[in-house]
Structure 1
């Protein structure tokens, strides 16, 4: 693992657990020795990406990450264009709505509006959604480049529940169905008891750059609800694309 990769892994560790962590705990979780971990943290502190509390000596994510995020959003205003659409869909459906954006690491959850209902689905911001196990992933695969889709079909498909898709043929069938209808339907593939409907957000070339999904408890999701959510989420994905690129994205299907 390169030095850069090690440093990034520390940032991800600090972002996925408690707000602050001690050096020994970070080193143990990362699998590095304490000297290496301290050296990496010192470098990250120098760049403003990590901060250390002077009293407790615990480490936490730094404000420099916010600066980088704002710079990226200024160049490509994905959230600024998409958040109003996500919020509107959440208000319309009364269910949890989450937005994801593709990177080489996978589909990263970048915005979540949770349902106000007591029995609701929770999706942590920053969570990487497995392509084979989520409605968002399948919607993305249905409209992505062939090389990306083939890599997922050929790769490992770890089981998260007894209902997770575990073979390439079944996944390919689900992807084809999502491509035909314009949105995907997922049932308990990533979390038991959860039903999701997702649609892609398309770029100007017609390929997906992310996905928007509605997630609800399976016990209160009927066939008519799924059809209604499919219409709503497909329209929302299209609207985000229009807001981003100023026109309806192409409908190329890989």
Structure 2
């Protein structure tokens, strides 16, 4: 009598058990996300230390990612950064995303109208991430960077995104952001203080920040809404020398009107 292996016991073409293969894939994704989310090149030793994987495991994963073009390596420092193939994944997202499709034209028009940078952001892996950005035409302008993760501990956009979560989801998100902030050596905020500011953003359906990320910078944000598990916010960033109190009022009105239009197209 012959027996067949269960899915968890089945072997792959290279001899690995199914569950071992899943673990390898999970580890590779964690390494890739770490490299993509870092503002500095990452080495094998630090990745091994921070992720809790052996150096040999990290090196093997990085070698595979390098062959696939998902990471690049500096031969002198032997440290890794995001590779060119990752740009293809980002391009695929921007061309297939319903949110980006709904928001792109409106964000571009708003950037022309206000003369400032307009961005569309979502909450991804407990980080604020810009998925579309229409930059200001001025030489002096602000940019958040498409795809770059930002902490939820500061900024108008972060508070607006947090305001779209349920109280239970928000509590967990804030706790995780503070924990990650400690690990990254970021300036800390009290959970109660951040929660209070988020609640204000929820009631007013907008948030304003002054110099929370960059000295002399102003951020204005309003919610686009929540579509299933996806959250979105529309924001304007610019230097304080161009954004007066009167301008803030005008920009918030323009943002709110644009966000409503995006929301209808996104959910439609």
- Of 214, 232, 245, the residue aligned with 1:191 is 214
| Offset, 1:12 | 4.4
Instruction: Write the distance in 1 (CA, Å) between the matches of 2:48 and 2:64.
Output: 18
SS in 2 for 1:202: strand
Q: Work out whether 1:49 is the aligned partner of 2:70.
A: yes
Asked whether the equivalents of residues 7 and 41 of structure 1 are also in contact (C-alpha less than 8 Å), the reply is no
Matches within 5 A, 1:1-254: 3=24, 4-10=26-32, 12-13=34-35, 16=38, 26-31=43-48, 35-45=56-66, 49-50=70-71, 61=82, 64-66=85-87, 68-69=89-90, 72=93, 76-155=97-176, 156=178, 158=181, 166-204=189-227, 209-246=231-268
| Offset, 1:176 | 2.3
SS in 1 for 2:43: helix
SS in 2 for 1:116: coil
Q: Normalising by the residue count of structure 2, what TM-score does the alignment of the two structures yield?
A: 0.70
Change (3 A) 1:197 1:28: same
Aligned-residue Cα RMSD (Å) equals 3.4
Q: Normalising by the residue count of structure 1, what TM-score does the alignment of the two structures yield?
A: 0.74
Deviates more, 1:226-235 or 1:101-110: 101-110
Change (3 A) 1:85 1:132: same
Corresponding pairs, count: 232
Instruction: Write the distance in 2 (CA, Å) between the matches of 1:16 and 1:217.
Output: 26
Q: Which runs of 5+ in 2 are unaligned?
A: 1-22
Q: Which runs of 5+ in 1 are unaligned?
A: 247-254
Instruction: Write the distance in 2 (CA, Å) between the matches of 1:134 and 1:243.
Output: 26
Instruction: Write the distance in 2 (CA, Å) between the matches of 1:103 and 1:209.
Output: 9
Q: Deviations over 1:38-66 (max 9, x none)?
A: 3112333565634789xxx9976556545
Asked whether the equivalents of residues 116 and 137 of structure 2 are also in contact (C-alpha less than 8 Å), the reply is yes
| Offset, 1:175 | 1.8
